[in-house]
Amino acid sequence: MSEVTVQSINVSERLAALIAQREPFVHATVVRAQEPTSAHAGDQAIVYADGTIEGFVGGQCATGSVRAAALGVLETGEGMLLRVLPEDSDTFPDAPRASVVVNPCLSGGAMEIFLDPKIPASVCHVVGSSPIASAIADLGGTLGLSISRSTEGGSPSQALATVISSHGGDEQSAIREALDAGVPFIGVVASVKRGTALLDEMDLTETERARVHTPVGLQIGAVTPHEIAVSIVAQIVKAIRTEGLGRSATTPQTLSTPPPAAQATDPVCGMPVVIGPDTPHAVVGGEEFWFCCPGCRDRHVAEG
C-alpha cells in the first residue's frame, strides 16, 4: 500500500480514467468540517481497492478512518456518509445510512465525508445479430450491465455472462471461446433438444458443461424477442443477486466486489487499521501490533 498522496490532482480526469479502466474505487468527498480539523468542505480523495489513497480528506488519523470505511463500502457497493468525531463528541448525531466513528486521536473538529463506491458494471457479452440478441443488448444496458457485442468486435474477455443467440451459427466456437475466457455464465438460445445435442457434440468437462445454460432464460412463457430477452436477463440478474455469480475467486476476470483488506485494531486508541506496508507497526513482547499513527505506536512501545 502506498503512502497517502496529498498533492493536488485533477479529480474529474482521474475519475473518468479509472472508470474507463474498469478499476473499482471509492470517491471520498468532505461534506462538512469543523475547525481545527485540517480538511475543508469540498476536499476529495480516491481510495483504491488495496487501501491506497490519492488526494486529501484530513490528517493521518482521519484518513485511517476513511480508508477502513471505504474498503467496507467497496464490499457492500452502497454509499455511506462517514462522520468522524473527536472523543466525547456528539456534534453529529447518528442517522440512517450514516456511520459514526469516534476517533480519540482526532485533534479536534468533527467531519462528514461521503463515500461513493464506483464498482465497474458487470459485462454481458452478446453473440449474434438476431432480434433476441439486439433485445438482450438493449435491455441489459438499461439495467446497468456493460454490453459487449460480437457484431461490434467485442470479445468475452472480462465478461460475467455470455449469451449466444446466433440461431445455428458457429455456436460451438462461441461456447469454447467463452469457456476459455473464464466466463462463469454462458447461455445459449436454443430448444432443449438442439441445445442438448449441441453440448453432447463438444468435448466438455463436467465443470465446463455446468457453466453452459441451454435453453437459457427463466420459464415465463416468453414468445417475442423482447419477452425472451427479459427471461434471459432476469436469469443473469437472479444468478448475480441470489446465487453469488461474480463473487467466485475462480473467476478473476469478473470485476465485482474486491476481497477485503486485512485489518487490525490499534491497541492504544481502539481504531480499526488497514494493514499495509506503510501502516505504523511494532513488535512488543513478541507480539505484532499495527497503529493508526506513529503517535499511538510510540506510546505503546514506551508503555510496553
- Please tell me the distance from the alpha carbon of residue 304 to that of residue 298, in angstroms, as a whole number: 10
Could you tell me the domains of the chain? 11-119 (no CATH), 123-242 (3.40.50.720)
Q: Which amino acid is at 106?
A: L
Residue-level pLDDT at 253 = 37
- pLDDT tens for residues 98-122? 676 666 665 556 788 999 999 888 8
- The candidate with the shortest Cα–Cα distance to 73, out of 43, 40, 42, 28, is 28
Within its chain, how far is the Cα of 279 from the centroid? 23
CB atoms under 10 Å from CB of 266, counted, come to: 23
- Residue 205's SS3 state is coil
Total residue length of the chain? 304
- pLDDT tens for residues 271-293? 778 777 678 888 888 888 888 77
Residue-level pLDDT at 186 = 97
Side-chain-facing half-sphere of 21: CA atoms under 13 Å: 10
Residue-level pLDDT at 254 = 38
Q: Which amino acid is at 235?
A: Q
Strand-pair partners of 86: 103
- pLDDT tens for residues 31-78? 988 777 788 889 999 999 888 888 888 877 788 888 888 988 888 888
Average pLDDT, the chain: 83
Lowest mean pLDDT among 9-13, 85-89, 126-130, 202-206: 85-89
> For the whole model, what pTM was predicted?
0.61
